[in-house]
Amino acid sequence: MKNIAISSAAALSMLANTAFAETEITWWHAMGGALGETVNEIAEGFNASQDEYTITPVFKGTYEETLTAGIAAFRAGEQPNIMQVFDAGAATVIAAEGATVPVQNLLEANDVGFDIEDYISGVRYFYADADGKMIGMPFNSSSPIMYYNVQALEAAGVTPPVTWEEFETVTAPALKKAGFTAMSQSHLPWIFVENFMSRHDLPFATNANGYDGADGTEILVNIDPLKAHFTALTKWQDAGYFEWFGTGWGDNQTPFEEGKVAIWFGSSGSFGGLSKKDLGFDFSATYLPYWEAVTTEPKQTFIGGAALFAMAGQPDEEDAATAAFFKYLTSPEVQYMWHRETGYVPITTAAYEMATADGHYDRAPAAETGILQLSLDAGENTRGYRMGFYVQIRDVMNREFGRILTGEASVDDAFAAIETEANELLARFAKTQN
């Protein structure tokens, strides 16, 4: 009996040695369609580059669905090695200490060189903790930028607006005269709140924008500059300078693609998709405008998109595989390929330099806008924000902004409602952290 047990154990371990010579890791992501194909390409490239590790990417649906699936898997002890988490979910995953291995620790423990200064400045701290330690590896990083229809602006005889004052008095009236709706945007909370704060260097929440902990963090949206911006939006809507097509991202992008809207605020990550379309006009992009009345020194924006988190509780050799993959992923060649194919920004300076040297920005100047904007001067409040239950806070903002723009609520009432409900959610989140 004993003999059988010993010999079968020996046979098993031999089997294990041959069958599992390669350490296998999984990567759950939310990149569908063409983006998913590029993700698969990266994974195949990594698998081909060495023979110790194999990575399997798995598409799990939208950002929210991926996060929920990852959380459920973690609670069941079946978590993947790598999980993609989007900007609004960052607080949830970073606050849960022990759910992930900070990427900085992971890389250092596995002797993969790490220097936060290698990363471009708008990227460094968004997924970092209060001490500036990088927790998640920025992956598909994007920032909102201003796209414009070159022919439309030429027809109206204007240049892309630098300030909102210029948009209001010069650009928009001229575009309207030339037969265009001057502007539309996708994702009001992201572009006209979160990055509005960063661009104007305004505090978004107490506790250093929430980085110092969930306890007592309160949102600071009920402020004059922001209310003035939304009041201006309603005025522009009435004047035919601005049209809002709903909360859906695509609903606001389509009229730009159709040539009805001359200026569209979208993501730098939209660049790849837009350039592959047959638009019938040339487009280019530049920085988000700022209100001169609020600041004369506009600052950088910060990254949206998502980051990769190494889930805790994995065997050491799998963590080593994850570290090796992160090293591969952040190599200039892979970053440049990802940047070129998708339009997401390259996250390291080295990759950016490679793209520059290759002449990518001579061929497509608009592709550089996002990274340039992320590398503008930093300010007190430009590294990002960290708020729990932020997905719901965004939902509240979307709802109230919808009410403003359909005339159901006044700007003052809407912002008061956002402040109240967001603070309630923040307090509830703080309670979950005990």
Partner 1 sequence: MKRAGFATRWLPILLLLPQLAIIAVFFYWPAAHAVQSSFYLEDPFGFGSSFVGFDNYTHLTSSSEYARIAKFTLLFTVLVTFFSLALALLLAVKADNVIRGAKTYRTLLMWVYAVAPPVAGFIGLLMFNQSWGPLTELARSIGWDFKLGVNFDDTATAMVLVSVWKQVPVNFIFFLSGLQSIPKSVREAALIDAKSSFRRFWDVTFPLLAPTGFFLLIINITYALFDTFGVVDTLVKGEPGNNPMTLVYKVYVDGFRGNDLGGSSAQSVILMVLVLALTVFQFRLVERRIHYT
**For 57-126, what is the HEC assignment?**
EEECCCHHHHHHHHHHHHHCCCCCCEEEEEHHHHHHHHHCECCEECHHHHHHHCCCCCCHHHECHHHHCC
* Interface positions, 46-105, toward partner 1 (CB under 8 A): 62, 64-65, 67-68, 71, 74-75, 89, 92-93, 95-99
The site map against partner 1 for 327-366 (x = CB under 8 A) is: ----------------------------------------
Q: Is 318 in the site for partner 1 (CB under 8 A)?
A: no
> CA-CA distances (angstroms) from residue 69 to 9, 63, 66, 306, 398?
35, 10, 5, 16, 24
Q: Is 113 in the site for partner 1 (CB under 8 A)?
A: no
Q: Is 149 in the site for partner 1 (CB under 8 A)?
A: no
Q: Would you say 49 or 432 has its CB closer to partner 1?
A: 432
Closest distance of CB 120 from partner 1, Å: 30
Q: Is 177 in the site for partner 1 (CB under 8 A)?
A: no
**Number of helices and strands in the chain (H, E):** 22, 10
Closest distance of CB 62 from partner 1, Å: 7
Closest distance of CB 248 from partner 1, Å: 4
**How many residues interact with partner 1 (rule CB under 8 A)?**
47
Beta-bridged to residue 290, according to DSSP, are 163
Q: Would you say 85 or 321 has its CB closer to partner 1?
A: 85
Dist. CA 328–CA 190, nearest whole Å: 30
Closest distance of CB 211 from partner 1, Å: 18
- Tell me which residue of 307, 290, 293, 265 sits closest to 379, measured CA to CA: 290
Q: Would you say 68 or 356 has its CB closer to partner 1?
A: 68
The site map against partner 1 for 248-277 (x = CB under 8 A) is: xx-x--xx--x-------------------
Q: Would you say 63 or 139 has its CB closer to partner 1?
A: 63
Helix, strand or coil, per DSSP, at residue 28: strand
Dist. CA 107–CA 111, nearest whole Å: 6
Q: Which of 223, 391, 416, 419 binds partner 1 (CB under 8 A)?
A: 391
Q: Which of 119, 148, 164, 389 binds partner 1 (CB under 8 A)?
A: 389
Q: Is 279 in the site for partner 1 (CB under 8 A)?
A: no
Q: Would you say 216 or 246 has its CB closer to partner 1?
A: 246
* Interface positions, 392-421, toward partner 1 (CB under 8 A): 392, 395, 398-403, 405-406, 408, 421
Closest distance of CB 312 from partner 1, Å: 10
- How many other CB atoms sit within 10 Å of the CB of residue 51? 9
For the four alpha carbons of 406, 408, 412 and 417, in that order, the dihedral sign comes to: negative
> CA-CA distances (angstroms) from residue 213 to 70, 100, 304, 388?
23, 17, 21, 10
* Interface positions, 189-248, toward partner 1 (CB under 8 A): 244-248
Dist. CA 344–CA 34, nearest whole Å: 13
Radius of gyration of the chain measured on its C-alpha atoms? 23
Dist. CA 218–CA 419, nearest whole Å: 8
Q: Would you say 127 or 291 has its CB closer to partner 1?
A: 127
Q: Would you say 36 or 332 has its CB closer to partner 1?
A: 36
Beta-carbon-side half-sphere exposure of residue 160 (alpha carbons within 13 Å): 18
> CA-CA distances (angstroms) from residue 188 to 66, 117, 321, 401?
23, 31, 39, 8
> What is the DSSP secondary-structure string of 335-403?
HHHHHHHH-PBPSBHHHHHHHHHTTHHHH-GGGGHHHHHHTS---TT-S----TTHHHHHHHHHHHHHH
Closest distance of CB 258 from partner 1, Å: 7
Closest distance of CB 244 from partner 1, Å: 7
- How many other CB atoms sit within 10 Å of the CB of residue 2? 6
Closest distance of CB 92 from partner 1, Å: 5
Dist. CA 107–CA 326, nearest whole Å: 8
Q: Is 130 in the site for partner 1 (CB under 8 A)?
A: no
Q: Which of 8, 49, 50, 433 binds partner 1 (CB under 8 A)?
A: 433
* Residue range at the interface with partner 1 (CB under 8 A); choices 22-30, 35-43, 148-156, 388-396: 388-396
Residue numbers of the site for partner 1 (CB under 8 A)?
A: 62, 64-65, 67-68, 71, 74-75, 89, 92-93, 95-99, 244-249, 251, 254-255, 258, 389, 391-392, 395, 398-403, 405-406, 408, 421, 424-425, 428, 431-434
